[in-house]
Every structure is written in structure tokens, then in C-alpha cells.
Structure 1
Amino acid sequence: MQQPLAYKMRPKTIDDIVGQEHLVGPGKIIRRMVNAKLLSSMILYGPPGIGKTSIASAIAGSTKYAFRTLNAATDGQKELKIVAEEAKLSGTVVLLLDEIHRLNKTKQDFLLPLLEQGSIILIGATTENPYININPAIRSRTQIFELKPLQEKDLKKAVFRALSDKENGLGNLNLKLDDNALELLVTSSNGDLRTILNGLELAAKSTKPGTDEIIHLTLEVIQESIQKKAITADKDGDGHYDVVSAFQKSIRGSDANAALHYMGRLLEAGDLISVVRRLTVCAYEDIGLANPQACARTVEATQAALSLGLPEARIPLSVAIIDLCLSPKSNSAMEAIDAAISDIQTKDIGSIPDHLKDAHYSGAKKLGHGTDYKYPHNYPNDWIDQQYLPDKIKSQSYYTPKTTGKYEQALKLQYDKINQAHKD
């Protein structure tokens, strides 16, 4: 049986994993568990193709434990009993249980005592939020780790590894992968490394060598193999960034039709990550305090999109885009923090007033730290006039309210009231 490239390139040890540095990087929790040989059952959740199975396989490889894979939806108690028997003989088995959110009560009741004994180290994999979709009895016996979408640098690293690996990869083929073809590979898959490697394998093994005996993987070859079109790039290769720029500017300019068009271009190229990132930036940069609830709704929509993946992700994202486009706009919060940072970078801002300094240590009182601080909740309306900025910039103002939304109009009234009280 011919195994897919993605399967053959699966990490053998924890050092082979690409991405997920927050879990397997130096000094991080899963690496520490492996190094200390103190593995415990865990649940890994995140979008498809970003390394859940790879981490489980690498953990087993790094610890030399037997490694078995089952699916909670399709494998029954019979398969679980086989793994349990193996665990009795070998001492410990690492069991990757895919789609663990679909584990029924019968299978769960069979597994729980094995987890308690430690004979099975369970690594559950799911694309669903485990805090919502996994039984509390399983959750309480596992550690939960969220996997992040792979970054472009991680995806490219995996591609180069596959191209050079002569034992498991494509290193024995005389391949040349064009730069623009590589870009399409890593931006069209929504961070799904499995899809990237399998698309690369199809392209490599279905393309005939040229007269120079080189298998030339051009943009057109990759497009054909993964059935995705590249975003049209200009001669300088800036096409992708032009679309992203037009996308944000259309939202800022309240043109829902244009914003939907540019998002469609990005999604057709499979670039869900750019849409999610840019949409989140748009919400807080361009709508901001004019409509904070729209910002919150955008975060919910982008989380739903990442959980769903394409093509369904387009639905919550289109809701968010129309919401943002037709919302009142304000960039006052961004301008306020940028002004504050500018002062910090360019001015002599002085020291923090003594009455605001930490007083929770012996000797603070002798230094006069915190002694004259007035606790606002002890005063009418939970407010008292006192200085908070350093002396050298005590009259500085950074926030300039806008009145394009009802929420910020209300903030302006309170802001003006406080400023007037300071003056009086």
C-alpha cells in the first residue's frame, strides 16, 4: 500500500515537529513532559492539519511507548479492548483518539479506569472546543492544549524538508519548485499542512520531467494539483497585499459590496488566515469605540470561521463584514495609544507620582510611596480629583473622542465631565 507523503513525513520525535512552539519549544510544557518522562493524558484541539496527530506520534516516538490510533466515532469497544490488552503486556500505550468529542458513554466508561491506572496515555484530538463538546469526566482527567494555525515559515519549513528528505520525502526526485508556486501552496490551504504535502506529492509525481530531466513545479502545475487559483500578482509580486489592503480600506470606507468581493478573492485562494487577521484588526482599528459590540461580534465570527474551516467559514465572516461596513466608525482608541507611545519614545516623561507607587512592602512608607493616595471608592460617585500622570506631562491629553457612534458619544460626555472637574 502506497502511503501519502503527509503520512510518511509525520514527525518521529518531538524535535521534528514544525510549529506549535508554545507547546513543544524549548522549556515549553509538552517538551518538559517528554523530557521528564512524566506524560499525562491530554486533549489537543485546533483546526484540521496543523499537527494534532503529529504531536501524538512524536510524543510516542520520543518516549518509545507503543502508539496506536483510533477514532471515537468509528472504532468501538472491541478496538479499545485490543489496545487495553496491549497496554497490560507492554506497560504503557499512547492512544491517539481522533474526534474525541464524539466519544459515547460506553466507550468513556471503558476508558476512564485505564486512564486512572496510567496504562493508557490518552491523546484526544478534536477540532471542537473541548470545554463545550467533551464530557466533563474526560476533561477532568486530561490536560487541554490549544494548537495554533501554522505560520507560513512553519509550512515552508515542512515543504523544504519534504523536498530534501530522500527516505520518506521527495528527495530522490529531481524537483524544482518555483517561488510563486510555493507561495500558493502555503497560502491556499488555511494552514493545513496535510493538504499542502499531499498536493505537493500529486504535483511532483504527476508532472513529467523536462528535457533537462528536472520536474519543474510551476505555479500552473501547483494550481492544477490543488485546484486553487493564485491571487493575481503584479510584476513586483504585491498582488496578495494589494487585495488585503483593498479589503480593509473597503470596510473602513463602509462599502460592503467591495469588502465582500475582496474577501471572496482571498477565500478563493484559500487564505482564510489573512481574512481573519485583517478582519480583527479592522474591527478594533476602524470601528473601535464607535461600536464595541461589533468588535466583540467580529471576534466571535472569526473564531467560528477558524473552527468551521472553508467553505463554511465564509458565512460567519460575511456577517461580520457587513456588520463592520455598516457600523459607525472611530479610530480614536488607536490614535490615543499611538500618541501615548509617541510621548514615551520621544519625550522626557518623568517618574510616576509617589502617591501611585507600590506601597505593599516594608519601607515604602518611609519613601513616601502610596501614602497620599486617595481611594476613589471612598468618595461620592467613586471619583476624586488627583494627579495620575507624571509631573512633566501632567496636563497631557491623548484621547480625542469622536461622535460617530452612540457609545462613544456617551464616553465623550463622561470624559468631558471628568476633565472639567479636574480644571475646577
Structure 2
Amino acid sequence: MQPLAFRMRPRTIEEIVGQQHLVGPGKIIDRMVKAKLLSSMILYGPPGTGKTSIASAISGSTKYAFRILNAATDSKKDLQIVAEEAKMSGTVILLLDEIHRLDKTKQDFLLPHLENGNIILIGATTENPYININPAIRSRTQIFEVKPLQPDEIKKAVLAAIKDSSRGLGELPIVIDEDALKFVSESTNGDLRSALNAVELAARSTGPDENQKIHLTLAILEECLQKRALTQDKDGDAHYDVISAFQKSIRGSDTDAALHYMARLLESGDLQSVIRRLLIIAYEDIGLANPPACQRTVSAVTAAEHVGLPEARIPLADAVIELCVSPKSNSGISAIDNALTDVRTGKIGEVPDHLRDSHYKGAAALGRGVDYKYPHNYPNDWIAQQYLPDKLVDAAYFDAKGNSTYEEKIKNRYESLKKSQRSNH
């Protein structure tokens, strides 16, 4: 029997769950499909987020032939068969999974077929295509990021699969508890495939109760998904509460609390939330008080992504402990938010003439860059001149705190430069 996730694969663009930034009405892939002006593309993102589904739906909506190959395991001969089919019957949509593993021989064969449009390539990868995919392929494709599904989107897809009698589990008398549905929707970290497979396993391995219903409880879904609902409560908000408590514990320098909340997130399998939140914390809450700690956090996160769980807990624990005991400062985020406030409220002003681009003929006649003073031509590589627009000439966004020796040096230097700047205009 084909897995539920396979059977419930969307047949048209309208059936796709999530990814509305790409397939929603008026969005790029929706426009391509409606105009039948498809271009080759690379879809990248975590597993189970809909890369194959999008490719299948594009084929279903356009009625083009659809073929699936794997760049790592399928041969050049398999690509030749697809190319021959395209020549005989017209355009073929080729989903090439693990496209980051495409070798040069297969790539060289594919390129001319992409150029003439016989094959519409949809590459799927979990790797960053800007780093791991050959520029020759990249230059001939559009790159779209596929994002983890939101819990509400997974919940909608699970309910649809339970009710669907032709492709889903509709022939079974399933009753699913609300807390079980929330658990499978939130603990799969945006991976719809995992959610559907867990629900199918639960439904087909659970016998009917006295009412002849297949009753899916939280305990059954936990067993089938092999994750415990450590970050949930009856209201379904605790997952985000734990993430919030994690950041606030580090901000408040409570090492043990921070490790506790990270352990809850890791035990639920939510490595990505930990990684993302740690990067935010490092630069938002520690920032200029301890830049080396920020750099080491990036290194720890990179290591964690490479090794995965359970080993990822080791570099992440080191980073959390260091961030907790580090001096704190939010002067960086405060500074940029102060600047953004001015921009968003219309306090912009024109760029001073001496700072404008002067690398074109006629720029001097317009006064562009004429009076610019090149700082490296002056003592200490600095000279007073106006950089802000006239209407913002006295703006001061950076409120240096001096919460560490390093930040105190930044504060003193900033204030000294600001004073000298103001005294010379």
C-alpha cells in the first residue's frame, strides 16, 4: 500500500497545503501555471514541506507529463529516457530529488534540454542551493525557498486525509482527540509527511473500541510519532511559551533554566527552533557586550546542524552556558530599531550631494560627490563631514551602554566621534 502522504499528494495548485508565498493566488508559481509559462526551478527547504507536492501539482494543473528521478541514484540513461519522451510527446516536468548531488556528466546532459525548454526541471533539495548547487544549473533556474508548514496547515491536511474516502483514511471510523491532533500538528516541526505517516500508522494499528470507533488519543500519537508532548498544554500554546522562556532565561542569565527549556525543545525534536532562537539571542541580547560569544554561537549552531541530534546537544549546551554568563547588551537592536522608526515615519531626507554616486559621466556637473573628503587621506583616517541627510543631521540612534570592557570602548569611541562630528558642521 502506498503511504498516506503519497496518496494525499495534491493534484492541482489549489490543493497544496502551505507555501502560499509561492502558490497562493497571484504568487509566482500560481502565475506560471495559469500562464503556462513554466521555467525550471529549485525548491529548497526541510523534508516533508511540500517540494514534491508542488512539482506534482504543477504537473496536474498544466497536464504536462511528470517524472521523478533522484540525482544521486538514477543514471544518465534514466535522464536520456525522460529526454526522449520530451522529444516525442512534448514538455515533461522532471522532479529531480537531491539535486545538490547531481554530478557533472548528468548536469552536462541536462543543460541543453533546459535551454530549449523540452524539460522543465524542478530540483528538490534540503541543502542551500547558493552553496551546494553548481552555478551552471543555478543560473538556469529560479530558486524558491519552501518553508516548514504551520501547525494550522498540518492540522487542516491531517483532517482532510482522515475524511477522504478515495485517497485517505475515510473508510476507517476514526475519531481523533483534539490534544492528539494538536500534538501531531505541532511536534512534527512543519513536516507534513511525518504527520500523515504517524496518523496512518496510528489508525491502522489501533483496534476499534466498544463503539466500533478507532479512537486516536495523545498517547497513541506519541507512540506512533516517537516524540513526547513535552512542549504542549491543553491550549496548544506551550510550545511557544517554552521558546519564549528559553530566550528570557538566557537574557536573565539563568543558566539552569535555559538548559531546562532547551532540553524540552530538543527532546521534542525541535532542533530548528533552538538553533534559530540561539542566533537571535546572541545578537539581540548579548551583542556588543561580547561579540566573540556571538561568533562562537554561530560556530556551535553550524556544528549542531552538521551532526544533528542527539550529538547537536553538545555544542548547543556550550553556547547556552556561555551566553547565560556573558555580559548583556541590546544596544545594537535598539539602534537599528530607532533608525527604522525614523524611516517608517517618513523622516528620511535626501542623501547629501557629496555622498552621492559619482561614477558616471556628468555626475560632477550635478555636484555629485564633488566635495567628498576621502577619510583615508587624513590623519588617523578620519575627517569631519556630514553623512546624514540635512533633516536628520543631529539624529543619534545608538545608545551605547558600556556593559563590558569591549562595549565601554565602543561607547567612548562613538561619543568622541559624534562630538567631533557635531563640532565641525
TM-score (norm 1): 0.82
* Worse-superposed segment, 115-124 or 286-295: 286-295
Q: Is 1:350–1:390's contact at 8 Å kept on the other side of the alignment? A: no
Identical amino acids, percent of aligned pairs: 62
Q: Is 2:100–2:127's contact at 8 Å kept on the other side of the alignment? A: yes
What is the CA distance between 1:238 and its match in structure 2? 5.5
AA aligned to 2:145 is E
Q: Is 1:301–1:317's contact at 8 Å kept on the other side of the alignment? A: yes
What is the CA distance between 1:319 and its match in structure 2? 4.8
Residue aligning to 1:364: none
Q: Is 2:86–2:118's contact at 8 Å kept on the other side of the alignment? A: yes
Residue aligning to 2:53: 54
Residue aligning to 2:359: none
What is the CA distance between 1:98 and its match in structure 2? 0.9
- CA distance in 1 between partners of 2:131 and 2:231 (Å): 41
- CA distance in 2 between partners of 1:353 and 1:109 (Å): 51
Q: Is 2:384–2:421's contact at 8 Å kept on the other side of the alignment? A: no
- CA distance in 1 between partners of 2:16 and 2:167 (Å): 15
AA aligned to 2:85 is E
Residue aligning to 1:384: 385
* Worse-superposed segment, 134-143 or 95-104: 134-143
Residue aligning to 2:253: 254
Residue aligning to 2:151: 152
What is the CA distance between 1:122 and its match in structure 2? 1.4
Residue aligning to 2:178: 179
* Worse-superposed segment, 172-181 or 43-52: 172-181
- CA distance in 2 between partners of 1:156 and 1:375 (Å): 62
What is the CA distance between 1:412 and its match in structure 2? 0.5
What is the CA distance between 1:374 and its match in structure 2? 11
SS in 2 for 1:141: coil
- CA distance in 1 between partners of 2:399 and 2:348 (Å): 23
Q: Does 1:291 pair with 2:261?
A: no
Q: Does 1:161 pair with 2:154?
A: no
SS in 2 for 1:244: helix
CA 1:387/1:9 → structure 2, altered by over 3 Å: closer, same or farther?
closer
What is the CA distance between 1:278 and its match in structure 2? 2.7
Cα deviation code 1:102-130 (max 9, x no counterpart):
22222223222222232221111111222
Residue aligning to 1:264: 263
Residue aligning to 1:7: 6
- CA distance in 1 between partners of 2:419 and 2:79 (Å): 71
Cα deviation code 1:245-292 (max 9, x no counterpart):
432233224344543332121111122343234323322331122234
- CA distance in 1 between partners of 2:208 and 2:185 (Å): 24
AA aligned to 2:28 is I
- Which segments of 5 or more consecutive residues in structure 2 lack a partner in the other structure? 357-366
What is the CA distance between 1:135 and its match in structure 2? 2.3
Q: Does 1:202 pair with 2:193?
A: no
Q: Does 1:193 pair with 2:210?
A: no
Residue aligning to 1:102: 101
- CA distance in 1 between partners of 2:140 and 2:299 (Å): 28
SS in 2 for 1:196: helix
- CA distance in 1 between partners of 2:306 and 2:67 (Å): 26
Q: Is 2:231–2:264's contact at 8 Å kept on the other side of the alignment? A: no
What is the CA distance between 1:390 and its match in structure 2? 5.9
TM-score (norm 2): 0.82
Q: Does 1:125 pair with 2:124?
A: yes
* Worse-superposed segment, 48-57 or 291-300: 291-300
- Which segments of 5 or more consecutive residues in structure 1 lack a partner in the other structure? 361-370
- CA distance in 1 between partners of 2:84 and 2:341 (Å): 65
What is the CA distance between 1:84 and its match in structure 2? 2.0
CA 1:123/1:300 → structure 2, altered by over 3 Å: closer, same or farther?
farther
- CA distance in 2 between partners of 1:41 and 1:350 (Å): 40
Count of residues paired in the alignment: 409
CA 1:350/1:79 → structure 2, altered by over 3 Å: closer, same or farther?
closer
- CA distance in 2 between partners of 1:322 and 1:376 (Å): 47
Residue aligning to 1:88: 87
Residue aligning to 1:243: 242
Question: Residues 197-236 of structure 1 correspond to what in structure 2 (within 5 A)?
Answer: 197-231=196-230
- CA distance in 2 between partners of 1:313 and 1:183 (Å): 27
What's the RMSD between the two structures over aligned residues?
A: 3.6
- CA distance in 1 between partners of 2:34 and 2:296 (Å): 41
- CA distance in 2 between partners of 1:265 and 1:182 (Å): 20
Q: Is 2:384–2:420's contact at 8 Å kept on the other side of the alignment? A: no
Residue aligning to 1:408: 407
- CA distance in 2 between partners of 1:350 and 1:60 (Å): 46
Q: Is 2:350–2:389's contact at 8 Å kept on the other side of the alignment? A: no
Residue aligning to 2:115: 116
- CA distance in 1 between partners of 2:371 and 2:253 (Å): 44
SS in 1 for 2:407: helix
AA aligned to 2:110 is L
SS in 2 for 1:44: strand
CA 1:20/1:292 → structure 2, altered by over 3 Å: closer, same or farther?
farther
CA 1:119/1:312 → structure 2, altered by over 3 Å: closer, same or farther?
farther
What is the CA distance between 1:49 and its match in structure 2? 1.1
- CA distance in 2 between partners of 1:7 and 1:33 (Å): 24
